[in-house]
């Protein structure tokens, strides 16, 4: 059985309250008694409960990360960046997924900000500005990755998704494509809407017609990209290129096209977004827009650690750029 505060108190011949004072570094205990208790804790390999310490106002040396999903390699790469950087600061990562469910997001964040962690990194869709202002009153530092709320007082790491969406569409246009379909991700995703905005702006800038029948929703899932591409292939006037708002949907689109007996990129070009590991391994390798996922996690932790130390770093919003990765899926 694990050593408890009762065991420490008994071995030191003091009360539980005295041991608690030492654990939480509070006054009221003589230095001789304090050192005696600390030595017993060391000998008995006792580790104070992190939650209890958090509730007592002490550091838990834990960070919370709230993300929608762990099955998508995009989020896996962010987790890797967060965890590696947290470890560099001798912090442990506590991870929770929400599946983008509004109530689950609030429940998880409420749990984290009740003393379980020293700070929280948030990737959420549904937390509104009133709730975020309430979070600020709780005194637990937090940093968003891609915060959808335009408020300069909120710390966040932002990727220029609109620029990435424009860049992908412009690339296809410059290859000679005029019939370009767009596959949306989640309807709740701010990232997705920014990429779509970039797509629309590129069409307008190059004088191309926006075609409603070319706009589909794949919910950021491979199966979604596969299903809506089958719908696109049934159109009388088919697109010559597809821009999918993430790589998972682009891979689904690739499967649907090959299944239909068509070739990529000879018959239809495909471009994705994220540059997950699988993008380079399919045949043909996927042209995509790369965003610095691991760096997003790294920067979020570095910003959060400044806040935990009581600093007020500037800028409050860090903008990261995307990069076009040319492979073999576009012609």
**What domains are defined for the chain?**
5-48 (1.10.260.40), 62-159+293-322 (3.40.50.2300), 161-290 (3.40.50.2300)
214 pLDDT above the threshold of 80: yes
Average pLDDT over residues 115-139: 88
Lowest-confidence segment of 10-19, 112-121, 127-136, 145-154 by average pLDDT = 145-154
DSSP state of 312: -
For residues 171 and 53, which has the higher predicted lDDT (pLDDT)?
171
This prediction has a pTM of: 0.78
Sheet containing strand 156-159, edge to edge, reads 92-97, 62-67, 119-122, 142-145, 156-159, 317-320
Secondary structure (3-state) at 33: helix
> What does the alpha-carbon distance between residue 250 and residue 256 come to, in Å, rounded to a whole number?
10
Give the pLDDT band of residue 186 (cuts 50, 70, 90).
confident
**How much is the pLDDT for 24?**
65
8 pLDDT above the threshold of 60: yes
> What does the alpha-carbon distance between residue 285 and residue 315 come to, in Å, rounded to a whole number?
37
Contact 204, 192 (CB under 8 A): no
The rounded Cα 272 to chain-centroid distance in angstroms is 18
**How much is the pLDDT for 47?**
66
Average pLDDT over residues 176-202: 94
For residues 226 and 107, which has the higher predicted lDDT (pLDDT)?
226
Average pLDDT over residues 70-87: 91
């Amino acid at each position: 059985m694990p050593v408890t505060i009762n065991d420490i108190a008994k071995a030191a011949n003091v009360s539980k309250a005295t041991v608690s004072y030492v654990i939480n570094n509070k006054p009221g205990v003589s230095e001789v008694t304090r050192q005696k208790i600390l030595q017993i804790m060391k000998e008995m390999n006792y580790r104070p409960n992190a939650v209890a310490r958090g509730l007592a106002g002490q550091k838990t040396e834990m960070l919370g990360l709230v993300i929608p999903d762990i099955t998508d390699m995009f989020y896996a790469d962010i987790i890797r960046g967060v965890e590696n950087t947290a470890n560099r600061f001798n912090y442990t990562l506590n991870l929770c997924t929400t599946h983008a469910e509004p109530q689950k997001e609030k429940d998880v964040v409420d749990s984290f900000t009740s003393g379980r962690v020293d700070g929280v990194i948030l990737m959420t869709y549904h937390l509104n500005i009133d709730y975020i202002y309430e979070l600020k009153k709780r005194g637990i530092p937090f940093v968003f990755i891609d915060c959808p709320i335009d408020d300069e007082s909120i710390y966040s790491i932002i990727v220029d998704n609109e620029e990435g969406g424009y860049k992908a569409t412009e690339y296809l246009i410059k290859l000679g494509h005029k019939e370009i379909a767009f596959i949306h991700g989640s309807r709740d995703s701010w990232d997705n809407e920014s990429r779509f905005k970039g797509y629309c702006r590129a069409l307008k800038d190059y004088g191309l017609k926006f075609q409603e029948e070319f706009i589909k929703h794949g919910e950021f899932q491979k199966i979604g990209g596969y299903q809506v591409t089958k719908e696109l292939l049934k159109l009388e006037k088919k697109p010559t290129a597809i821009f999918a708002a993430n790589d998972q949907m682009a891979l689904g689109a690739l499967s649907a096209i090959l299944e239909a007996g068509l070739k990529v990129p000879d018959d239809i070009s495909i471009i994705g977004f994220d540059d997950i590991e699988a993008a380079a391994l399919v045949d043909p390798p996927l042209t995509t827009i790369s965003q610095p996922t691991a760096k997003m996690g790294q920067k979020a932790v570095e910003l959060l650690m400044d806040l935990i130390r009581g600093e007020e770093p500037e800028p409050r919003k860090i903008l990261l750029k995307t990069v076009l990765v040319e492979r073999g899926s576009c012609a």
